[in-house]
Amino acid sequence: MDVFPLYMPGLMILGTDTDVGKTYISTAIARQLMSEGIATGAYKPACSGSIQDGDSGDYYWNDIELLSESINQTFPSERICPQKFHAPLAPPVAARKEGRQIDHDLLWQGALWWQDQVEFLIVEGVGGVLCPLTENTLVVDFAAELKFPVLVVARAGLGTINHSLLTVEALQNRGLCVAGIILNDVDPELSDESRSSNAEQIQQWTTVPVLSFVPFEWQSNLLHHQTQDRIDWVQLALHPSRFVIKE
């Protein structure tokens, strides 16, 4: 199937790894946009790793629930994620365990559906950027089809310089526009002294701005790393280069 970029603005939220806080950041951005009166959609092309409810025995997918809540449960969960699998594995591997395969066209059609529904779309990736998404494509390949500017979510602690720069390089090598990096304090137990110098170090090696440092259990709007202002996500999506931090 030939694909064309969506004509609506949006951001693709990708990670340096799984469990770095892509959903946490996606939902924070969605809540801010909704509070600003911007009709916002949330889309996850595929989701793996279900949880079974102890009482009802029903299965649910945490990411889908949280994304749905962040946009006030305005849309059916099938629109937020049309392809979900039980095993906590890369989606094509999880699909195979159920005798299924990821439907590549549905990944794209699921995104396209949002175009006439909302003013802004947030798309969360799966795992890190080189995580397999179908039998023969990676998350980064889907991002390259979608062509939304990318926000990279990275863990705040030691190791993040390498992970962030590798991720930016992989995205830029495929022609993607990386709008910013968000350092997310996922786990204070991992606390170490690299936190105070990571942003500056990353900035020495890439022109992609470190946009925000998100403290552990931060519940409010994300603040700009340098100015401490609330970030204008629509402007960032429309004009990513305006946000490049000048020395």
**Under the criterion CB under 6 A, does residue 47 sit at the interface with ligand DSD?**
yes
Size, binding site for ligand ATP by CB under 6 A: 18
State the minimum distance, in angstroms, from the CB of residue 243 to ligand DSD.
26
Q: Which of residues 105-134 bind ligand ATP (CB under 6 A)?
A: 126-127
**Under the criterion CB under 6 A, does residue 181 sit at the interface with ligand DSD?**
no
**Quick one: tokens of 215?**
């403290």
**Bridge-based pairing state of the strands 210-214 and 47-48:** unpaired
97 is catalytic: no
What's phi and psi for 45, nearest 5 deg?
Answer: -60, -35
**Under the criterion CB under 6 A, does residue 218 sit at the interface with ligand ATP?**
yes
Q: Is 217 annotated as a binding residue?
A: no
The Cα–Cα gap between 230 and 227 comes to: 9
> Binding residues for Mg ion, per CB under 5 A?
22-23, 63
**Interface map 172-201 toward ligand ATP (x if CB under 6 A):** ------------xxx---------------
The DSSP result for 147-183, as a single string, is: ---EEEEEESSTTHHHHHHHHHHHHHHTT--EEEEEE
Residue of the chain from 28, 126, 151, 161 that contacts ligand DSD (CB under 6 A) = 126
**Interface map 48-67 toward ligand DSD (x if CB under 6 A):** xx-------------x----
Choose, from 44, 97, 147, 246, the residue flagged as catalytic.
44
**Under the criterion CB under 6 A, does residue 110 sit at the interface with ligand DSD?**
no
What's phi and psi for 125, nearest 5 deg?
Answer: -80, -165
Environment class of residue 221 by beta-carbon count within 10 Å: exposed (0-12), middle (13-18) or buried (19+)? middle
Q: Is 124 annotated as a binding residue?
A: yes
Q: Is 88 helix (H, G, I), strand (E, B) or coil?
A: coil
Active-site residue set: 44
